Amino acid sequence: MLNDSSMTNSANRIVYVDADSCPVKEEVMSLSRLYKKEMVFVFSYAHSMVLPDDVKTAIVDTDKEAADLYLLQMTKGGDICVTQDHALASLLVAKGVMVLSPRGHLYKEEEMASMLDSRYLSQKARRAGKKTKGPKKFTEADRTMFNETFERILAKRESF
């Protein structure tokens, strides 16, 4: 678990990454360095990764929601979080956190009810034995969109 006392300063806004299966780790590191933003990569010890010294890490238990709970507890309004988890995104957006998917989608509060409803209906169909479509394959176009959106956010919020 992260125990850096500088992380508790409310004036210090941070880029958090739900890192277990994040396909844009390198992009986050590169752009965060460019804009001199502190980064925290959150992952379970089962997905252990070696990251550069300038990347803070928060290693959590393997429980299904451990990373989500950590992110909910640690993020503050104005922080940025990269995640592909719609349920987590809905909770973070409500806190005033800017939430970005690895595909470059900036989540908005007004779309969360629809996204969660769609997620629920897919889960319900799967429990009933029906097949549902999974996510589309991650592409270079997705990576480009992420880079463009993330840089736009960082450039706009350079003084955050």
State mean pLDDT over 94-117: 83
State mean pLDDT over 63-69: 91
Query: CA angle 128-122-147, nearest 5°?
Result: 155
CATH number at residue 125: 3.40.50
71 CB neighbour count, 10 Å cutoff: 26
Count of domains forming the chain: 1
Q: How confident is the model at residue 92 (pLDDT cuts 50, 70, 90)?
A: very high
- Predicted pLDDT of residue 156: 83
All residues at 6 or more sequence positions from 14 whose CB lies less than 8 Å from its CB, including other chains:
7, 37, 38, 39, 40, 75, 79, 80
Range name among 36-50, 61-75, 118-132, 146-160 with the lowest pLDDT average: 118-132
pLDDT reading at 5 higher than 90: no
- Predicted pLDDT of residue 158: 45
* pLDDT tens per residue across span 109-140: 777 666 655 655 566 666 777 776 767 899 99
- Predicted pLDDT of residue 60: 95
Which stretches of the chain are assigned E, i.e. beta strand? 14-18, 38-44, 55-60, 80-82, 98-100
Residues of the domain holding 61: 5-156
pLDDT reading at 11 higher than 50: no
- Predicted pLDDT of residue 121: 56
Look at the pTM and tell me if it is higher than 0.95: no
Contact in structure between 97 and 77 (CB atoms under 8 Å): yes
- Predicted pLDDT of residue 12: 61
State mean pLDDT over 30-59: 94
